[in-house]
Structure 1
């Protein structure tokens, strides 16, 4: 495995990090708890020491699964990355969207990051995770009803209390990062990034490179589309958000699969899967520190972790990029 520091901090994480959104089941059509735990443990055995989660993933389920999975592992050998600012248990802040929990009950999701809410969320996360500190604590989404400064001041207090090591944000633009940094130093920004979703390369990536901030790329497999296993006409489980997600339009599935077939000979030549090729390309992109990759079971987790062994030459990366330039999504 390769390990990289978050920004200029001393928090060192695995370049391939376990993304535990799907492990919580919420918006992914449910979860099998034992499979998720085994997936995290299989990843750890192959050097994936970092796990990214959030309270809203399964309304606490994902954090509980992570906590159970890391029992018995020396705490300083694993890095826990979690978040705050999305509440399903109150009606304050910005209303985000309606959803259903894993039991099928209607819930309303709010973006809320007031000081007292952050303090409570941190305590709740520590309990679910079974730990006394969090390595990276991230604002999940910008919250319009709370000044950024207020949120960051709460996080600064938590750092001073030793409950978190470093502060990060998620889904922030450059101006929001700059505003947050008037209060404290950010280590990272977690944002969507994949071969077919590269909008952050215009402004955010150059800013983060210049100011030595890490980028944690979430959905690098574009929620499974870049595995090549999803075909036009695919039927998603009830509650799976991908059914209405832009990249899963019939035309985009077909176009993406055509692209994947064009780069498949390179994967075959290296005796690796398309997924492993995509993960390696992602962590080799300028400015990308970490690829957050989810897995439903130990086998998927093992395959993801082994992507670190793939080596891409400059010519091979150029070939992939040229094929990407031909891609036309609607």
Structure 2
């Protein structure tokens, strides 16, 4: 496993933050919007990841309305805390009608909930306390706003996180789903180290502005959904039926025509995977973490076997010619929206 430095601290006595290039993404572990979860399997998957060198885990309160964080807390309770990096988030409230309405949804019990993007000062402080309890720890390594909240000044939000850093409850501040303008503004109020954004072979829009900005200003990019929610595994075929509460059913990526086109692309790069005795999914993950500006890739796993496979992707050796060939085939892929 390779570990990459996210950013140097602005406090000399505080150690740098290093993350495993494959970081465990715990959204699906919470079950919400993924058709449910099996708690014991999720715990095993996280522990198997750790044994394979994946020391970094990304979660959020909204994932299962606290369930994902509880599962992460259970999985790491017997592990040495200084050997694990906990990444969680704030700013998505399902228990408070304040801020920007993000979506109407249902919890794991099928009950309707309204989710709001809200990052007011008191809310951030409260969310941190709740996350620490669920995670069973006294500090969070990287605390990230989940989505921009246009009803709260960024200065107010970042001052709240600064207070948490001073109190030792948070080590580093990050953001998610921020564009370059929002990153610039947030950086005026806090030592910002990272931006977590969607990035995959079929979603590369950040390469235009965000990647150059982050490279220039030494900000880490944490790529989420690098497998595009299972699309790039090659296992999904036209006619695939999703569970009723699986959010992927409504995404254009999973239209039959796009499944066909993606699978044709994957068949072109499969010889590289076969030559290295790895799966298509592992090859996709390796390509992702080799792209300029991409610091780590988040990969979820439903069980221990998936966790082992994701971790092993970091050990694949790709030369520049192979990376360029994959990208060449990828550039010829066009999806229908």
TM normalised by structure 1 equals 0.99
Report the counterpart of residue 2 of structure 1 in structure 2. 2
> Does residue 1:131 correspond to 2:137, yes or no?
yes
Residue of structure 1 in register with 2:171 after alignment? 165
Distance 1:2 1:282 in 2: 14
- 8 Å Cα contact 1:262/1:323 also seen in 2: yes
- Matched with 1:83 is 89
Measure the CA separation in 1 of the matches of 2:34 and 2:252: 16
Aligned residue number for residue 195 of structure 2: 189
Q: Which residue of 2 aligns with 1:105?
A: 111
Determine if the alignment matches structure 1 residue 293 to structure 2 residue 314.
Answer: no
Q: Measure how far apart 1:34 and its partner are.
A: 0.3
1:19 is matched with which residue? 25
Determine the C-alpha separation between the residues in 2 that align with 1:72 and 1:82.
Answer: 19
Deviations 1:92-113 (A, max 9, x none): 0000110010000000000000
Give distance in 2, aligned partners of 1:163 and 1:326. 47
CA distance in 1, matches of 2:4, 2:314: 13
Residues 214-240 of structure 1, C-alpha deviation per residue, up to 9 Å, x if partnerless? Answer: 000000000000000011100001210
Structure 2's unaligned 5+ residue stretches are 10-15
Give per-residue Cα distances to partners, 1:3-47, cap 9 Å, x unaligned: 011133411110100000000000000000000000000000010
Q: 1:179: how far off?
A: 0.4
1:43 is aligned to 2:49: yes
Q: Which residue of 2 aligns with 1:152?
A: 158
- Tell me, in whole angstroms, the C-alpha distance in 1 between the residues paired with 2:279 and 2:122: 46
Paired position in structure 2 for 1:325: 331
- Paired with 1:176 and 1:81, the residues of 2 have a C-alpha distance of 20
Does residue 283 of structure 1 match 2:289?
yes
8 A Cα contact 1:8 1:212, kept in partner: no
Cα deviation 1:153-212 (Å, max 9, x = unaligned): 000000000000000000000000010011111110000000110000000000000000
**SS where residue 223 of structure 2 aligns?**
strand
Q: 2:205 matched to which residue of 1?
A: 199
Q: Is 1:257 equivalent to 2:263 in the alignment?
A: yes
Aligned to 1:96: 102
User: Quick one: distance in 2 between partners of 1:72 and 1:54?
Assistant: 21
Superposition pairs for residues 184-263 of structure 1, below 5 Å? 184-263=190-269
User: RMSD of the alignment, in Å?
Assistant: 0.6
Secondary structure of the 1:4 match is strand
* Residue in structure 1 matched with residue 64 of structure 2 by the alignment: 58
Residue pairs, 1:294-313, within 5 angstroms: 294-313=300-319
Distance 2:327 2:203 in 1: 13
CA distance in 1 between counterparts of 2:201 and 2:271 reads 17
Q: Please give the alpha-carbon distance, in whole angstroms, between the structure 2 residues aligned to 1:29 and 1:203.
A: 35
Match of 2:12 in 1: none
Could you tell me which runs of 5 or more consecutive residues in structure 1 were left unpaired when the two chains were aligned.
none
Distance 2:64 2:157 in 1: 24
* Residues in 2 aligned to 1:68 and 1:21: alpha-carbon distance in whole angstroms: 15
Name the TM-score, length of structure 2 as normaliser.
0.97
